[in-house]
Amino acid sequence: MKIDDMDAFVAVIRCQSTKLAADALQLTQPAITRRVQNFEEDLGANLLDRNTKPLKPTPMGLRVYEQCKAILREIDSLRELVASDGSPSGSLRLGVPQTISDVVLLDALQQIRETFPELKTQVINGWGSSLITRMENGELDAAAVLFPAGKIFPEGIASRSIGRMPLLVVAAKGAMRKRSCKLKDCYAQGWVLNPDGCGFRAGLQRALSEQGLSLQINLETFGTELQLGLVASGMGLGLVPAPLLERSGHREQLDVISVGDFKPMIDLWLLHPQYLGNLQDAVNLFSDVAAERLRST
């Protein structure tokens, strides 16, 4: 049984396509097919239901897939353990939510490049939950994610909070007669928020549901600065981390609304596998720069 065959099988299940798996592993599609077939022959079991599109594992294939992921993680840890004394080199794959990219990425990437010139850094944007999934699948080496304090992360992922910040409710300057209220007094103004999947939006929706109130979306769009511009133009209420509001070009056109029964705090978490090998120093540098940028904003 070959590790390369196992890796190909895991990639096919993850991508639900031999073509996408081939692209991910930088192989040809026939090579992927041959490796998966070899793996099935070694185990003496059919692992893929080839009558479905997209490709799906058989019941046994699903069990084998979960076991293979654990085995490959252990193999990666072993390789990283051996390489841990070396200077960071190769590729560092970072996951960062779009919400904070503008604040932390430029300085972090510049310092990583200057400190570790042999290291190539790749950045992937996404929601926190999707970045965690990609890390579990071995597609990321580290990720900065936004979640409430006390968040429990999957086994095998090291986590630490590197910054805490309040989430603020904002409105166009002068749009609200009172700058202090309850959720029930302001929720009907409607909101300008990220599309569904955003943790900020989910937290607000939970708070509203607990009071029997509905979440009214006036407009959903990506990009904190665009959202704040729309709020400033009177499109509805916004929800923004305090550091991002302070650096916004729309700050003077916005009022912060004190909502007595909705005062969420959000943590910026750094996540990575238990063993990072020679990438550990680079990930620590990224963490330090991100935390400093949030404090100084």
Q: Coil, helix or strand for 4?
A: helix
Write down the CATH number for the domain with range 165-263: 3.40.190.10
Bridge partners, 126 (sequence order): none
Q: Where are the domains of the chain?
A: 3-83, 90-164+266-296, 165-263
Residue 89 tokens read as 């080199």
| Average confidence score pLDDT of the chain | 87
Matching fold, domains 3-83 and 90-164+266-296: no
Alpha helices, DSSP H, located in the chain:
3-15, 18-25, 29-43, 59-83, 98-115, 128-136, 183-186, 199-210, 224-232, 242-246, 280-296
Q: What's the longest Cα–Cα distance across the chain?
A: 72
Confirm if 76 and 138 have CB atoms less than 8 A apart: yes
Q: Name the CATH architecture for the domain at 90-164+266-296.
A: 3-Layer(aba) Sandwich (3.40)
Query: Can you name the CATH fold of 3-83?
Result: Arc Repressor Mutant, subunit A (1.10.10)
Residue 33: the pLDDT is 93
Predicted TM-score of the model (pTM)? 0.62
What does the pLDDT look like over 73-131, one tens digit per residue?
Answer: 888 767 665 655 556 667 889 998 877 777 777 888 899 999 998 888 889 888 888 88
Distance CA 7, CA 27 (A): 12
Q: How far apart are CA 64 and CA 5, in angstroms?
A: 13
What's residue 244's pLDDT?
84
User: Dihedrals φ, ψ of 147, to 5°?
Assistant: -145, 160
The pLDDT assigned to 86 comes to 59
Mode of pairing for the β-strands spanning 254-259 and 56-57: unpaired
